[in-house]
Amino acid sequence: MQKYFDRELSWLSFNYRVLQEAINPEVPLIERLRFLAIYSSNLDEFYRVRVASYMHILKLQKAEGLEQDAGIKKLLKKIKKTVNKQQTEFGRIFNKELIPLLEKENVFLIDQDQIDKEQHQFLEKYFDKKVKPHIEIRDLKEKKKTFLKNKGLYLTIEITNNEAEKSYYLVNIPTSKAGRFTVLPSQKGEEVIIQLSDVMRLFIHKLFPETEISQCYAVKLTRDAELYLEEEIAETIEERISTSLHKRKIGDPSRFLYDEKMPKEMLKIFRKKLGVKKDELIPGGRYHNFNDFFGFPVPDNDKLFYEPLDTLNHPTLKDYPSYFDAITEKDFMLHFPYQNYNHVLEFIEEAAVDEKVEEINITLYRVAEESRVCKALIGAVKKGKKITVFNEVKARFDEELNMHWGDKMKAAGVNVLYSFDELKVHSKICLVKRREDKKLVNYAYFGTGNFNEATATIYCDHALLTKNKALTKDLEGVFNFLIGKNKSPEFKQLLVAPFSMRTQFEALIDNEIKLVQEGKIGKMTLKMNSLEDRQMIKKLYEASNAGVKITIIVRGICCLIPGVEEMSKNIKVISIIDRYLEHGRIYIFNNDGDEKLYLASADWMKRNLSHRVEVGFPILDKNAKKEIKKLIKLQLKDNVKTRRLNMTQSNPYKKSIAKKKVRAQFDFYRYLEEKIK
C-alpha cells in the first residue's frame, strides 16, 4: 500500500489548484489571466530547480559510467505526462475562454494577420525604432554551439532560397527592451493589443530581405537554477554564491518549450543544434513565458478585478504615542495583507532613531528592492547603535538582492553575518534592546513571513510584537547561536529548529495520543505551506490510528495520504487557493481543552525541521489567540475556495449544503474591519 504521495507529483497537483482559479468562471477575468501567469511562473521555477536537479543526477551517473537511476527516469516521465496534460488545459482556457471573454469586454489580443492599415504603419515605425536595434540573428550553420538564455523567448526561422535549399535561424524576442505587449491605435471604447512575437512575425522579412520565410515558431528554454555550492572553491560563502550565480545563467537545459505546430523535422534540427535532449521537450502553444501576463495592459473596468480592499490599521496600535509604550502594555498580533505592514516598518524605524535603543538584532531572508527595513538599519548604525543582521544569501532567486543590501549595510558599519554552510536561516525575528531605568529591556518581533513590504501586500502572514520575558530570553538564545556565542542553546518557550522543534512537535502529538488513550478527546489543527517530512507524517499516521482527530490546511505539497483505513482515517486535508497567497504556519493542539497554539516560520518539511534555523512561537495573549482561532474557524468553514485533498489528488472543490457562502480570506478581512468599527 502506498504510504506517501510523491513530492514532485504533489507539487504539480498544487500548481493545478492554481490553474483551477484560471478555469473558475466566478473569478474576475483579469484575475484569471493573472492566475495563468502565476501557474506559468511556478512551473518555470519547478523545472529550473526540481526537474533540473534530477536531470543533474542522471547526468552525473552517466558521466561516471554508472547505471542511471530507473526511479528518477520513471518519475520524470510521470512529470512530463502530467505537465503535458496541464499545458493542454492551460492552452484551452487561454484560447477558448479568456480570449473570447476579453473580446466581449472590447479588449482584443490580436495577431499580425488581424491588423489594419493604420496599425500596420504604427507597428512598422515601432519595429524599426524600438525592436530592430535589439534583435540578434543566429545562423544555425555556424560551427559554434548556439546558446539560449534562460527563460528567453526566441523565434525559430526556416528560410527557403530560390534553389529550394533550406536555412535555419534563431532570432531573439527582446521583451526586456521592447516590452511584451503593445497597445495599438483603435476605435474609441476598444483596446487592441498585440504581442511582440507577432510584431516580429509581421516584419521578419526585413531581417531576411530577398528570401522566402517558410516557417516561424516561438520557443523558450528553461535552465538549471540550482547553486551547486559544494563544487565551488572559495574563501567565503559570498564568493561561492557569486561564482554560482554566474553558472546559474548557463546551467544545463531542463525544459525546451516549443510550439506544438512546429514540424517534427524542424524541431529535430533545432533540438540537435541547441543541445536539447528528447526528454527535455515540452509541447506548448503559440506563445510562451506567460509570466509576462502580469504586465498585460489592463482595461479600466472594475468588474474585471477583485473588489478593492483598503489595508486596515490595527484597531488600537495606532493610538499609542510609541510602539514601545504599546508593547509594554500588551502583546499585539498583526495579520497581513489585511492589516498595514507599515506597523512593522514603523516599529523598526522607531527603534532605529529612539535614543534609548542600544541594539537591534534581526534576520533577513527576502527583502524588498527598496527595503525600508535595511535603510532603517543603516540609519540606526549611523546613530551609534549596535546593529547585527543575519543576512541569508542562499535565499533562492534573491541571492543577488540580499548580497546587494548586505554590502550596503556592511559599508555603513552594520555587523552583517552571512549564511552557514549547512544551514539556511529562515526564521523571521527581530530583537530590540532598550535602556529603561538603567536596565536593558528586550522587545521582540516574531513573524511567519519575510521582512518584505512588497510581498506583505499579497502573502497571508502573521506577526507578534511582545515584551514577554520568557519569549525574549529565548530569542536572545537564538541570536547568541547565530553570532557564534552558544553552539548548543536550549529553549523553554520557543520551538527552534534544528535543535528542538521536531522533538517538541512530536511531544505535542504524543500528548494528544495519550489523551485519547485516557478516554479524552485528542485533536489538532495544523496549517502550513508544505507537508513532506516522512518522520512527521508517520507520527500523524500513528495519532490517527490512535483516534486523534486531525485537520490539516496545506497550501502546496502534501505527501501525506488522507482518509485511508488503518493509516489516516482520522486525517482530513484541505487546501485554499484564493486572492492572496496563504503563507502563515499555525499549529493548534487541543491539550485537553487548554489549547496550545504556535505560529512558526517553518513548514513540516525535512529541510525546515533539520536543515534550517526556524522559530516557532507560542501565542499566549487571549485576544491574539482569539484572532488566530477565528481565522482557522473561517478557513475550515470556507465553501468557496477550499479544495479537498484526496487519494487521487484530483483537487475537488469542497461541497457544502450550507446556504451561506463562507470565503475565508474575505470574511477574515470583514472580521478585522469590524474590530476597528
Beta strands 424-425 and 612-618, pairing class: parallel
Question: What are the pLDDT digits (tens) for 638-652?
Answer: 999 999 999 889 999
Mean of pLDDT values over 205-225: 83
The confidence score (pLDDT) of residue 337 equals: 98
- In angstroms, the Cα distances linking 510 to 441, 515, 533 are 36, 9, 17
Mean of pLDDT values over 202-210: 87
Q: Catalytic: which of 288, 343, 426, 583? A: 426
Who's near 235: CB < 8 A, 6+ residues apart? none
Segment among 258-272, 360-374, 435-449 with least mean pLDDT: 258-272
Alpha carbon distance 371, 369 (integer Å): 6
Alpha carbon distance 34, 296 (integer Å): 9
Cell of 15: 500548481
Among 3.30.1840.10, 3.40.50.620, 3.40.50.300, 3.40.50.170, what is the CATH number of 7-296? 3.30.1840.10
Beta strands 495-497 and 612-618, pairing class: antiparallel
343 is a catalytic site residue: no
The confidence score (pLDDT) of residue 250 equals: 47
Mean of pLDDT values over 194-215: 89
Residue 142 has pLDDT above 70, yes or no: no
- 496-676 domain in CATH 3.30.870.10? yes
Domain residue spans in the chain? Answer: 7-296, 323-489, 496-676
User: pTM of the predicted model, to two decimals?
Assistant: 0.91
Where does the pLDDT of residue 502 fall: very low under 50, low under 70, confident under 90, or very high at 90 and above? Answer: very high
- Phi, psi at residue 463, to the nearest 5°? -140, 150
Where does the pLDDT of residue 237 fall: very low under 50, low under 70, confident under 90, or very high at 90 and above? Answer: very low
- In angstroms, the Cα distances linking 70 to 58, 401, 457 are 10, 39, 44
The Cβ-side half-sphere exposure at 208, using a 13 Å CA radius, reads: 25
Share of the chain above pLDDT 70, in %: 94
Average pLDDT, the chain: 91
- Interaxial angle between packed helices 29-46 and 70-92, expressed in degrees from 0 to 180 and rounded to the nearest 10: 160
Residue 275 has pLDDT above 60, yes or no: yes
Question: What are the pLDDT digits (tens) for 609-659?
Answer: 999 999 999 999 999 999 999 999 999 999 999 999 998 899 999 987 778
Residue 348 has pLDDT above 70, yes or no: yes
- 323-489: which CATH architecture? 2-Layer Sandwich (3.30)
Where does the pLDDT of residue 229 fall: very low under 50, low under 70, confident under 90, or very high at 90 and above? Answer: very low
Residue 248 has pLDDT above 50, yes or no: no
The confidence score (pLDDT) of residue 232 equals: 39
3-state class (DSSP) for residue 233: coil
Mean of pLDDT values over 49-69: 86
* Domains 7-296 and 496-676 fall in the same CATH topology: no
Question: What are the pLDDT digits (tens) for 306-336?
Answer: 999 999 999 999 889 999 999 999 999 999 9
- Phi, psi at residue 433, to the nearest 5°? -105, 120
E strands, 285-385, are 332-336, 357-364
